[in-house]
Structure 1
Amino acid sequence: MKQLTVIQHTSADYLGLIEDHLEGRRIRFHYHRPFTEAGKIPPFDHVGDGLILLGGGPWGSAGGRDVPTLAEEVALARACFMSGIPTIGIGLGAQIVALACDGSVEAAPLAFTVEPANRVREDALAGFMPESWINPVYMRDRPVPPDFATILAQDSAGRPAAFQIGETVFGFTGHPGFKRAMAEDLIMEFEEVPENSGPSLDRLGLEKNSIGDALVPIMTGIVKLTGWMREEG
């Protein structure tokens, strides 16, 4: 049975709907919470079969309000990349993946948007990525993938919404398994709140079924490419 290491940056931002897809495939996952008093970044030899780096709410990586464990996480993600261990970065996690793989980040204010992302390659995620899906983004700063990355999807402004580095490293600016309750908890957990959060919360609730439907092929493609369940596909 595969075992994944998941790093949280806030108590509110977790795997969300992705949990059900992993559990349904009997893929185990263990959360690490370095923001707690007893939490810390796991050593490389404890990562297991894959690494997932989650979002950070108001935490970023471009210098304005960096997540405190940024350097450690970049080093861990780079070690996984160099060793061929599948890695997925979501939101802040995508920024960490970009930094770990010789990309960069650009400063941007904390924002909460619920807008479509559009696939730019038919073979994205082994052909399973939807042509368009709702991409909930709750994030400060933005990842800039390295030149050798493959852009899989873009947002309405033409910026990368999903990218792939090598065979098994992926970055998503939005959380493909995001729930309205997660956004509500992020808003309550921190004093800093994105502008116009109300309309985004409302749309997130309205798009609940659409987000869940899009996650099915997204997870199928991820699981296929990472080898977390070889018998699938």
Structure 2
Amino acid sequence: MKALTIIQHTSSDHLGLIEDHLEARQIRFRYVRPFSAGSRVPSLGEVGDGLVLLGGGPWGTAGEQNVPTLDKELELARHCLMSNKLIIGIGLGAQILALAADGSTRATPLELRTGEGLRTIEGALNGYLPERFPYATYMRDWPVPPSYARILAKTEQGEPLIFQMGDTAFGFAFHPGFKLAIAEDLVMEFEEAPEGTADSLTQARAVSRHIEDSLVPIMTGLVQVTGLMETE
């Protein structure tokens, strides 16, 4: 049975709908909360079969409001890349992954955004990535993957939305397991909230079911590509 380590950056942002997909495949996971007293960023040897870096609400990486554990997480992400350890970055986590892989991040305001992702490589995620799919992101700053990364999908504006490096590193600039409750809890957890939050929450509510449906093929392809169901 495979086991993943999940690094949270806020109390509100978690795996969301992804939890059900992992549990159904008997893939274990444990949350690590470095922002909590007595906790810390784990070492490579403590990661298990893979590492997932989650979103961070208003925390970013481009300088205005960097997540406090950025340096430690960059070090861990680089170790995962060098050792071909599975690493998946979501939102803020995708920014950390891009930086660790010699990419960069672009400063953008905190926003809650929904839109349509557009597949750029046919056959991406073992052919399971839909040609078009809804996305939702609650994030400050945006990942800029390194030049050697494969861009699997982009936003309508042409921003990298899903990127891949080898068979073990994947960045999602959105939360593929997004639940409306995650965004609502983030608004409550922090004093800072995105502009137009009420309208954005309404838009997110309207696409929630479509996000849930699109996660089925995305998780199927991701599990196949990463070998998360393979036994030793």
TM-score by length of 2: 0.98
Question: How far does the alpha carbon of each residue in 1:53-77 deviate from its partner, in whole angstroms, 9 at most, with x for none?
Answer: 0000000001110000000001101
Provide the C-alpha distance between the structure 2 equivalents of 1:116 and 1:38, rounded to a whole number of angstroms.
Answer: 40
Who is 2:36 aligned against? 36
Question: How far does the alpha carbon of each residue in 1:171-192 deviate from its partner, in whole angstroms, 9 at most, with x for none?
Answer: 0110011111110000010011
Who is 1:139 aligned against? 139
Corresponding position: 1:188 with 2:178: no
Provide the C-alpha distance between the structure 2 equivalents of 1:196 and 1:116, rounded to a whole number of angstroms.
Answer: 19
| Aligned Cα root-mean-square deviation (Å) | 0.9
> What secondary structure is seen at the aligned counterpart in 2 of 1:26?
coil
Provide the C-alpha distance between the structure 2 equivalents of 1:163 and 1:13, rounded to a whole number of angstroms.
Answer: 21
Unaligned stretches of 5+ residues in structure 1: none
Identity %: 57
Unaligned stretches of 5+ residues in structure 2: none
Provide the C-alpha distance between the structure 1 equivalents of 2:65 and 2:205, rounded to a whole number of angstroms.
Answer: 29
> What secondary structure is seen at the aligned counterpart in 2 of 1:207?
helix
What is the deviation of 1:230? 2.4
> Which stretch shifts more, 119-128 or 23-32?
119-128
> What secondary structure is seen at the aligned counterpart in 1 of 2:125?
helix
What is the deviation of 1:126? 1.3
Provide the C-alpha distance between the structure 1 equivalents of 2:196 and 2:118, rounded to a whole number of angstroms.
Answer: 23
What is the deviation of 1:155? 0.3
Provide the C-alpha distance between the structure 2 equivalents of 1:77 and 1:126, rounded to a whole number of angstroms.
Answer: 24
What is the deviation of 1:132? 1.0
Who is 1:69 aligned against? 69
> Which stretch shifts more, 4-13 or 38-47?
38-47
TM-score by length of 1: 0.97
> Which stretch shifts more, 89-98 or 164-173?
164-173
Provide the C-alpha distance between the structure 2 equivalents of 1:89 and 1:10, rounded to a whole number of angstroms.
Answer: 15
What is the deviation of 1:134? 1.0
